[in-house]
Amino acid sequence: MEYSDERKLVIGRVFDAPIELVWKALTDIELLKQWSPFFPEFEPVVGFVSRFWLGPDDDHQYLHVCEVTEVIERKKLTYTWAYDGQVGDSHVTFELSDDSDRTKVTFTHEIIEPFPDYDPNFALNSFIQGWTYTLDALQAYAEKREAV
């Protein structure tokens, strides 16, 4: 992890995979479904909204609402990360840069409006664990793929 405080988490990684493959793994729904439990549907188009249930166990499932807010092909993907019926809002950003035949990935989760503090699933430590798991899954998927 590169940085975290109460409102911002930044994680940097270098993937042993070309940028085109990492970008497609983040934005092509068929590839996305192979490594991520998140989006049942997804389009890398500003304004696209996806809703899905996700949580740490059967008793703690949350309806996530994510709206794409920025897309720069092969460089940057940002979407909101909020929970239906809960206060709070945040933005999730994946920034990619070429590093020869590898890809530098900088992930940021920034809290815009705080989430409820009565639920530990909205705490920074929970986000750190969840996003580390997610980046591990993305990296493992991208690095095992031969081509796009």
What's the CA angle centered on 54, arms 51 and 60, to 5 degrees? 130
pLDDT in tens, the chain (148 residues): 576 787 899 999 999 999 999 999 999 999 999 999 888 999 999 999 999 998 888 999 999 999 999 999 999 999 999 999 999 999 999 999 998 889 999 999 999 999 998 899 998 889 999 999 999 999 999 999 865 5
Instruction: Write out the H or E segment, with its range, that includes residue 6.
Output: none
Per DSSP, which regions of the chain are E strands?
3-4, 8-15, 49-57, 60-72, 76-80, 82-83, 89-99, 102-113
Tell if the pTM clears 0.85, that is, is over it: yes
What are the structural domains of the chain?
3-144 (3.30.530.20)
